[in-house]
Amino acid sequence: MATFTTACPLDCPDTCSLSVDVDDQGRLADVDAAPGNPLTQGYICHKVKHHARRVYAPERVRTPLVRVGPKGEERFREATWDEALDLVADRLQEAMGGDGGPAGVLPYVYNSSAGAVASAALTPLLFARLGVPEVAHTICAATAGQAWDDTFGDMLSADPLDVSHAGLVVVWGANPTVSNTHLLPLITEAKRNGARLVVIDPRRTGVAHRADLHLAVRPGTDVALAYALARLLRERGAVDRAFCDDHASGVEEYLTAAEEWSLRRAAEVCGVAAEDIDELATMIATVRPGFLRLGWGPERNRNGGSSCRAILGLWVLAGQFGRRGSGVMASLSGTAPLSTAGLVAGVRPPPAGCVNMNRVGAILCGEEPGASPARVLFVQGANPAATAPDQLTMLRGLAREDLFTVVHDQVVTDTARYADVVLPATTHFEADDVAASYGSFVLQRVTAVIDRVGESRTNDEVAAGLAVRLGLDPSEFDPDPRILLDRMSTDGAVAPLRVLREPGATVQFVDTLPTFADGRARLVATDSELPLPRYRALDSGYPLTLISPATAKTINSMFAEFDPPRAVLSIHPDDAEPRGLVDGATIRVWNDQATLELPCRLDVTMRPGVCAMPKGLWLRSLPGGVTANGLAPATVSDLAGGACFNDARVDVAMAPESEAVT
Ligand SMILES: Nc1nc2c(c(=O)[nH]1)N[C@H]1C(S)=C(S)[C@@H](COP(=O)(O)OP(=O)(O)OC[C@H]3O[C@@H](n4cnc5c(=O)[nH]c(N)nc54)[C@H](O)[C@@H]3O)O[C@H]1N2
Ligand SMILES: Nc1nc2c(c(=O)[nH]1)N[C@H]1C(S)=C(S)[C@@H](COP(=O)(O)OP(=O)(O)OC[C@H]3O[C@@H](n4cnc5c(=O)[nH]c(N)nc54)[C@H](O)[C@@H]3O)O[C@H]1N2
Ligand SMILES: [Mo]
């Protein structure tokens, strides 16, 4: 047995340092936390602790596979890499030479759980060189990220390690208990030091349970809440005029827009008690320093951009910056000294344009005005059959007999079942890379610690194999991670673990400033598609809102193949009772897009009017083969075309022939 240190690049803010035991056959034996990481030392999550189960799972792809049965039936034969890559290269060439030109190919490439090299290096370069459309990464964080950019430019996030210095901690639409677990002990420490804790979330989450104040807002109404709080600050003379005079623009326009939001109106629209809004305004006005953790809950609906912008603007009005323990923590990405500028030098924007990832299902079905349905779909580091909105449209697209689908993944996902060619991918235990965290100022080496499973190849090796076959310059496509890292590193120094910024050294408006010419935060962004936050009504013919947040069991859809969260609909007893729903009974949940049957769980932590299903379920977790994503709309938010997973409207009833299942 030998022990190695590496890092976890999965799509989670924490980016844990890992200590890995490898047996004398070169196989992964055990995974645990490694010391030395200021955020993650001490423990790791249950999923990655047992990651070996996924690395050697029966679903693991070991060789290239070529489809021999009908689409979706998962009947494949093994193939050599040469045969598979020749076939894929031929089909790419054919599709690009067809009527649609380069638009005949859609690269659905996401790789948010891969290291920085695997996600940013040669695959994007390959498709950029081919000039095919770019599929923009809008299914997560596009809206919140644009809201940040509009308000602060490239100003850095606050450092989570500073939260223990806060007097007030506001967790707004984030669920650190499951999706950022190492933030939780830091919040607990802040509480121990006397901090007040406020949580704004439609559910009484683990962290909400421990809060001094929990505002269970209706999803999609945060903009109203933020405006009402801003108006209260103004009425009480609690806008920090000195801070705003020095550091903000657009203050008067923002406050004028907020005038519409009386306490009474906001309480009604958000579905929370006026006294609670009032109490929060008092805390924001009087308790300093105040630390805001903005999560990704508020962005995933039609008002997502407005909500994120209004929340950030509120923190500026309150002047909650300038001291350790103040400021806003959002994504910490962008700090790492990595850049693809050198890699893509000379690459022009795709002549075939850019498409929205949320609309790919509709595009494949020929239902997107102005977009030609692709002939080749290349999926890498993503599982759209399980994770995209409007699942039935996506599945209809994937089932098209005339669509040639390539899936490069570690396991035979729901999407891979529809593939014509499946290519085996390495896991992060099998290849060198780096992991840049979006939840701490830490950059780490990811090391190949075990032998490759089967014939798996890295993303860069696949891109290189296709590039030579498509006549591109092989010198540009050397997949050696050391060479790629050299090309991407802006300062040459990738140590096993590098703390990029020491705790206390990232005080916003002191150490890091908005990056606009005047150095000010913008409450109005005239060059944005959304100059000022505004509320759009949430009218619908369906009475309930369905949200589908993260659970501790999966990272998106990863791990759900063998240890899924329970496929149940959580609903408040007040919504269940008039519908005659009993705990554990099979219920039907439906809207215009889909109908699902599954057990219901009566759950007092839900707010009435809102029900929930877990994110990341595989299709086989439900008898009908449709998950929450079947009910989620493929409409887009009001900023940056972001996903609206939490904007589903549904109704629920007992299933016609339901029996109690628990
Ligand atoms: N264990 C685990 N960790 C993960 C992930 C995972 O799948 N599993 N996913 C990773 C990824 S990809 C991401 S993007 C992050 C997401 O990290 P988070 O943002 O923390 O996670 P979510 O569960 O999407 O949403 C957070 C909370 O927002 C609430 N919410 C929903 N709609 C609204 C709303 O309109 N307003 C407000 N105020 N709250 C709302 C939900 O009830 C939920 O509790 O987590 C990462 N970490
Ligand atoms: N209902 C609902 N759906 C959601 C959300 C929601 O809140 N509700 N949230 C959304 C969010 S936050 C996100 S980020 C998206 C994620 O959407 P996806 O990215 O489609 O989902 P993942 O399950 O993360 O899929 C990643 C796949 O990449 C594979 N993989 C990992 N590393 C590598 C690698 O190095 N190379 C290759 N080739 N493959 C690799 C994994 O095995 C896995 O199958 O889902 C979204 N879907
Ligand atoms: Mo995400």
Does 343 score more than 80 pLDDT?
yes
Does 334 score more than 90 pLDDT?
no
Ligand at shortest distance from the CA of 179: 1
Please give the structure tokens belonging to residue 421.
């060619």
Ligand at shortest distance from the CA of 460: 2
Predicted confidence at residue 98, as pLDDT, reads 87
Distance 645 CA to ligand 1 centre (A): 11
Mean pLDDT score, 498-516: 98
Confidence of residue 472 (pLDDT cuts 50, 70, 90): very high
Distance 556 CA to ligand 2 centre (A): 5
Confidence of residue 352 (pLDDT cuts 50, 70, 90): confident
User: Among candidates 619, 630, 631, which has minimal Cα distance to 560?
Assistant: 619
Q: CA-CA distance, 306 to 300, in Å (whole number)?
A: 11
CATH number for the domain whose boundaries are 143-330:
3.40.228.10
CATH 3.40.50.970 is held by the domain 65-139+348-428+452-490: no
Mean pLDDT score, 357-373: 96
pLDDT digits (tens, 9 = 90+) for 158-207: 999 999 999 999 999 999 999 999 999 999 999 999 999 999 999 999 99
pLDDT digits (tens, 9 = 90+) for 230-267: 999 999 999 999 999 999 999 999 999 999 999 999 99
Mean pLDDT score, 28-44: 98
Which residues in the chain are classed under CATH 3.40.228.10? 143-330
Ligand 1 atom nearest to 205, measured from its CA? 44
Rounded mean pLDDT of the chain? Answer: 97
CA count, 13 A, side-chain hemisphere, 561: 18
Ligand at shortest distance from the CA of 554: 1
Distance 614 CA to ligand 3 centre (A): 14
Q: Which residues line ligand 2 (CB under 6 A)?
A: 11, 110-114, 118, 139-140, 380-384, 387, 408-411, 413, 425, 459, 548, 556-558, 615, 628-629, 632, 645
Mean pLDDT score, 465-469: 98
Please give the structure tokens belonging to residue 493.
């120094």
Which residue has the CA at smallest separation from atom 25 of ligand 2? 382
How large a percentage of the chain has pLDDT more than 70?
A: 99
Lowest-pLDDT range of 349-363, 405-419, 579-593, 631-645: 349-363
- Per DSSP, the three-state class of 186 is helix
Identity at 303, one-letter amino acid code: N
Ligand 2 atom nearest to 423, measured from its CA? 38
Confidence of residue 543 (pLDDT cuts 50, 70, 90): very high
How large a percentage of the chain has pLDDT more than 90?
A: 95
Q: CA-CA distance, 355 to 210, in Å (whole number)?
A: 42
Does 662 score more than 80 pLDDT?
no
Q: Is 443 in the pocket of ligand 1 (CB under 6 A)?
A: no
- Look at the alpha carbons of 650, 654, 658, 662 in this order and tell me if their dihedral is positive or negative: positive
Ligand 1, from 137, 201, 269, 536: best to mutate by most atoms within 8 Å of Cβ? 201
CATH number for the domain whose boundaries are 544-661:
2.40.40.20
Predicted confidence at residue 661, as pLDDT, reads 47
User: Among candidates 406, 362, 355, which has minimal Cα distance to 380?
Assistant: 406
pTM strictly above 0.95: yes
- Burial class for 646, CB neighbours closer than 10 Å (0-12, 13-18, 19+): buried
Which residue has the CA at smallest separation from atom 16 of ligand 1? 296
Which residue has the CA at smallest separation from atom 40 of ligand 2? 381
Q: Is 11 in the pocket of ligand 1 (CB under 6 A)?
A: yes
Does 100 score more than 50 pLDDT?
yes
Predicted confidence at residue 658, as pLDDT, reads 61
Predicted confidence at residue 659, as pLDDT, reads 52
Mean pLDDT score, 513-517: 98
Does 463 score more than 90 pLDDT?
yes
Ligand 1 atom nearest to 203, measured from its CA? 42
Distance 621 CA to ligand 1 centre (A): 21
Distance 140 CA to ligand 3 centre (A): 5
Report the first-to-last Cα separation within the chain, whole angstroms.
44
Does 345 score more than 80 pLDDT?
yes
Which residues in the chain are classed under CATH 3.40.50.740? 65-139+348-428+452-490
Please give the structure tokens belonging to residue 263.
């306490």
The residues, ordered by sequence, that sit 6+ positions from 565 with a Cβ below 8 Å of its Cβ are 551, 552, 553, 554, 614, 616, 617
The residues, ordered by sequence, that sit 6+ positions from 60 with a Cβ below 8 Å of its Cβ are 54, 410, 411, 424, 453, 454
Identity at 223, one-letter amino acid code: V
Mean pLDDT score, 303-331: 98
Q: CA-CA distance, 11 to 276, in Å (whole number)?
A: 34
Mean pLDDT score, 355-373: 96
Go through 59-93 and write b for each residue having 16 or more CB atoms within 10 A of its CB, e for each that does not: ebbebbbebeeebbebebeebebeebbebbbebbb
Mean pLDDT score, 627-650: 98
> What SS3 string covers 212-256?
CEEECCCCCCHHHHHHHHHHHHHHCCCCCHHHHHHHEECHHHHHH
Ligand 1, from 137, 140, 170, 175: best to mutate by most atoms within 8 Å of Cβ? 175
| DSSP conformational letter for 347 | P
